[in-house]
Each structure stands twice: as structure tokens, then as C-alpha cells.
């Protein structure tokens, strides 16, 4: 499902500048002096709405001016909007933005722009160019499988494969909630407890109500949110061109309607989840669930020599704490290539047997099944709130 998106719209009308009270200007200088200017005007209206307990998107107007006979003349105007579509439609992003509700979101965004004296049609919003997009999915966690905190801690300790698209990671457990984040210069992938995030950061009236009910123990199911951010326009373009319907085109501008397709968001989230966790990581997650006695039993089945068992026991714990790649790199600094190869083979055998254990719930397979199902999580009162049919699961 689509969540936050940054769009650029060229067909719009400003009926008044009264809400755009802040501006930044950058002069374009050449050999013969100033030949143009980039001008960006901002509105503080979203901050005003936050004090009222309601959500409003971030909006600014970008103008490009060139010097003419009568001074600087506008040659291009863009309405730039950064909006969380679930927050705009529902008042909270604890729910998914189903593709069939996109026209409703466009209408609501068009109505919101009227509040700041900007005119743009729903059709203009749907055909706007996407410069950034966040794909996200709420996964309802059954109480019988444990808490979201347990899931996050099971996913936390493991290093990434070298082939991952991400080169950095953060683990955080603090006042603003518990999250795991992988990122690079153009995209981010984060898994976090959505209820904790709402308790820490919720500002709308609905979010504050959800936070009160959550702290009172009303919600029995957990809510993990998995989110992929394509943070640059080039990243959006490269990602969309992977899909068959766009593979043979040279499109550079993708519209909101194209980007928001359910099959695209599902494929993107699954691809990154698999890259980060499924390939090799599933074994590591299962390894974390093995008790020491069971671990020793598996090692004894593979290794007869007491010294080798001791080294392997140590190595497996290093894998458990820091990941396979890091443990093998440590071993290379201490042993010959032949010894490294021998122990690496033994460690991988232990990992394979850990993966085969079926006596504990596998966190990674469980979350992947949820992603494969990809059922939208919608409010129970969707029909009454939005005036559309509610034929899908709810929180």
C-alpha cells in the first residue's frame, strides 16, 4: 500500500498568497550577472492544523524565473505537496491506503488545498509526478504468536548480507518506540511497532484516541508496520521500470495513479524484505530461538573432537550475536584460510539444522506470509466514515 508521497503538480491556481508567508530565494549567476532565480514559498498552515488536532500536508510553491526585458519573469511554477495519504483520509496511518480509495484521497487533497487558497483538481493530483514514495503495510500480529516487541527483538541482532541494497542500519528502543531501520543514500527500509509510534508521536485527535485505548489495553492484536521509502525521483523511476508494464518504456515521470498500484507496492515490499531477511537470515532467526543444550546437541552430531566443538560453540554464539559475515571475518583474522573454510562449513551445517527446527514459530516466515496475503487493514467504520463499501478486514 502507498503511504507518504511527494508529488509535483504544474496545473494549479493560487487565488491568494496570504498563507505562503515564508520564502527562500536563490539567484542564478552567470558571466554577465544574475540571469534567473529559484524561489520557494512555504506555508505554516500545517503547524496551525496540528494545534487543532488534525492533519494537513506540507505544501510549497517552487518558481523558476528568468531575466527578460522587464526584469525577472516566471517561466515555471510547481506545486509541491508531501502528504501521508492514510493520515489525510483516516486521520491516522494505523490503517492501510487501499488502491480503490485513491480517488477519494485525491478529492480530499483537492479540498485541503482550497483551505490555503490553492486550486487543483483531483484529476490533476492523480496525474501528478511522483518524486518520492513510501510503500507500507500494517501487519496485524496475533496474540498467540507473541508481542510485536518479541518479533522486533528476534529480527534485531543480525548483520546484512553483502548483496543487500542497504549499507547501514539502526536499532532503536526509546521514547519514540522500537524500530529497525536499514538505509542508504536513496532508500530506507524500516520495521516498527505502529502503536508505540502513535503513543510517542500521535498528534491528530484520532491518533490520541487510539493511544489512550492502546494504553488502556483495548487492542489485543499487535501492529507491525513495514515501510520502504524511495527517497529520490531517480529511485522511483528505476524501481517502476522493473515492472513489465513499464519495462519497454523510457518514462521518467511516473504519476500518483501509476505508483499507487497494489501489485507494485506488494512486489516492492516483498523484494526488499526477501533481500534483507529471507536469504540466509531465516536460519539466523531460528538459531536465536535454540536453547544452549539443543545447540550443543546439534554441534556434537557434527563434530567429534572436543576442541573443535568448543571453537564451533564459540563461533555459533558470535553468529547469533553479530551475524555470519562478521563472525567469519573475525575468524579470518585468527586462523589460516583452510581452518576458516573448515569451520565455516561446520557453522553453516549448524545453521541449516537450526532452520529445520519446527518447534518454534519462525518470525521471518510468519511475516512473509502476512506480506504475501497483503490484505488491507481498514477501519471498522469505513463505510460510515467514507461512504464506501467495507468488504475487507479491519483492525
Per-residue confidence (pLDDT) for residue 229, from 0 to 100: 95
Per-residue confidence (pLDDT) for residue 158, from 0 to 100: 55
Per-residue confidence (pLDDT) for residue 287, from 0 to 100: 66
Task: Let me know: does 256 contact 128? Beta carbons within 8 Å.
Answer: yes
Per-residue confidence (pLDDT) for residue 169, from 0 to 100: 73
Alpha carbon distances (Å) from 272 to 81, 166, 211, 261:
26, 10, 30, 17
- The terminus-to-terminus CA distance of the chain in angstroms comes to 16
Instruction: Extract the C-alpha cell encoding 33.
Output: 550577472
Helical pair 306-322 and 292-302, crossing angle rounded to 10 deg: 130
Task: Please give the Cα distance from 127 to 367 (Å, whole number).
Answer: 33
The residues pairing with 130 across neighbouring beta strands, listed in sequence order, are: 7
Task: Let me know: does 7 contact 125? Beta carbons within 8 Å.
Answer: yes
Listed in sequence order, the residues at least 6 apart from 248 whose beta carbon sits closer than 8 Å to its beta carbon are: none
Task: Please give the Cα distance from 123 to 25 (Å, whole number).
Answer: 30
Task: Let me know: does 325 contact 380? Beta carbons within 8 Å.
Answer: no
Spans of all domains in the chain: 2-280+372-386, 290-356
Element at 310 (helix H, strand E)? helix 306-322
Q: CB neighbours (10 Å) of residue 25?
A: 11
pLDDT digits (tens), the chain, 395 positions: 899 999 999 999 999 989 998 888 888 777 777 778 889 999 999 999 999 999 999 999 999 888 877 777 787 899 999 999 999 998 888 899 989 899 999 999 999 999 999 999 999 999 999 999 999 999 988 887 777 887 887 777 655 554 456 766 777 666 666 788 888 888 999 999 898 888 888 888 888 998 898 888 887 788 899 999 999 999 999 999 989 888 777 788 999 999 999 999 999 999 988 888 776 555 565 666 667 777 788 888 878 888 888 888 888 888 777 777 778 888 888 888 888 888 888 887 887 777 666 544 578 888 888 999 998 888 876 665 555 444 444 55
Counting Cβ atoms within 10 Å, is residue 220 exposed (0-12), middle (13-18) or buried (19+)? Answer: exposed
Element at 72 (helix H, strand E)? strand 71-84
Per-residue confidence (pLDDT) for residue 162, from 0 to 100: 45
The number of CA neighbours under 13 Å toward the Cβ of 146 is 13
Per-residue confidence (pLDDT) for residue 392, from 0 to 100: 44
Owner of C-alpha cell 534483507: 276
Per-residue confidence (pLDDT) for residue 307, from 0 to 100: 84
Q: What is the DSSP string of 245-258?
A: HHHT------BHHH
Per-residue confidence (pLDDT) for residue 390, from 0 to 100: 46
Instruction: Extract the C-alpha cell encoding 362.
Output: 519462525
Task: Let me know: does 61 contact 20? Beta carbons within 8 Å.
Answer: yes
Per-residue confidence (pLDDT) for residue 393, from 0 to 100: 42
Task: Please give the Cα distance from 328 to 347 (Å, whole number).
Answer: 9
Element at 90 (helix H, strand E)? helix 85-90
Amino acid at each position: 500500500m502507498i503511504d507518504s508521497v511527494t508529488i509535483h503538480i504544474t496545473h494549479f491556481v493560487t487565488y491568494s498568497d496570504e498563507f505562503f508567508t515564508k520564502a527562500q530565494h536563490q539567484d542564478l549567476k552567470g558571466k554577465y550577472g544574475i540571469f534567473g532565480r529559484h524561489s520557494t514559498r512555504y506555508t505554516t498552515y500545517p503547524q496551525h492544523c496540528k494545534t487543532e488536532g488534525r492533519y494537513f500536508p506540507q505544501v510549497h510553491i517552487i518558481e523558476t524565473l528568468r531575466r527578460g526585458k522587464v526584469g525577472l519573469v516566471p517561466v515555471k511554477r510547481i506545486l509541491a505537496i508531501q502528504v501521508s495519504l492514510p493520515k489525510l483520509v483516516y486521520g491516522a496511518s494505523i490503517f492501510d491506503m487501499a488502491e480503490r480509495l485513491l480517488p477519494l484521497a485525491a478529492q480530499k487533497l483537492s479540498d485541503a488545498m482550497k483551505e490555503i487558497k490553492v486550486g487543483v483538481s483531483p484529476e490533476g493530483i492523480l496525474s501528478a509526478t511522483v518524486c518520492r514514495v513510501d510503500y507500507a503495510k500494517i501487519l496485524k500480529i496475533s496474540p498467540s504468536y507473541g508481542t510485536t516487541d518479541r518479533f522486533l527483538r528476534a529480527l534485531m541482532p543480525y548483520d546484512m548480507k553483502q548483496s543487500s541494497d542497504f549499507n547501514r542500519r539502526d536499532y532503536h528502543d526509546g521514547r519514540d518506540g522500537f524500530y529497525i531501520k536499514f538505509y542508504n543514500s536513496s532508500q530506507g527500509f524500516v520495521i516498527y511497532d505502529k502503536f508505540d509510534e502513535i503513543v510517542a508521536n500521535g498528534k491528530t485527535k484520532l491518533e490520541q484516541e487510539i493511544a489512550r485505548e492502546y494504553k488502556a489495553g483495548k487492542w489485543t492484536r499487535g501492529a507491525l508496520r513495514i515501510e520502504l521509502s524511495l527517497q529520490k525521483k531517480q529511485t522511483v523511476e528505476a524501481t517502476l521500470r522493473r515492472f513489465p508494464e513499464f519495462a519497454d518504456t523510457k518514462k521518467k515521470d511516473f504519476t500518483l495513479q501509476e505508483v499507487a498500484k497494489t501489485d507494485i507496492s506488494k512486489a516492492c515490499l516483498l523484494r526488499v524484505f526477501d533481500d534483507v531477511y529471507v536469504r540466509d537470515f531465516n536460519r539466523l532467526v531460528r538459531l536465536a530461538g535454540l536453547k544452549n543444550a539443543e545447540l550443543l546437541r546439534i554441534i556434537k552430531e557434527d563434530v567429534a573432537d572436543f576442541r573443535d566443538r568448543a571453537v564451533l560453540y564459540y563461533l555459533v554464539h558470535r553468529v547469533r550475536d553479530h551475524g555470519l559475515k562478521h563472525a567469519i571475518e573475525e575468524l579470518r583474522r585468527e586462523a589460516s584460510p583452510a581452518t576458516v573454510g573448515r569451520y565455516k562449513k561446520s557453522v553453516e551445517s549448524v545453521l541449516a539444522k537450526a532452520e529445520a527446527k519446527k518447534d518454534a514459530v519462525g518470525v521471518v516466515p510468519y511475516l512473509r506470509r502476512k506480506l504475501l496475503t497483503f490484505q488491507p487493514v481498514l477501519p471498522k467504520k469505513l463505510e460510515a466514515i467514507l461512504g464506501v463499501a467495507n468488504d475487507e478486514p479491519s483492525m
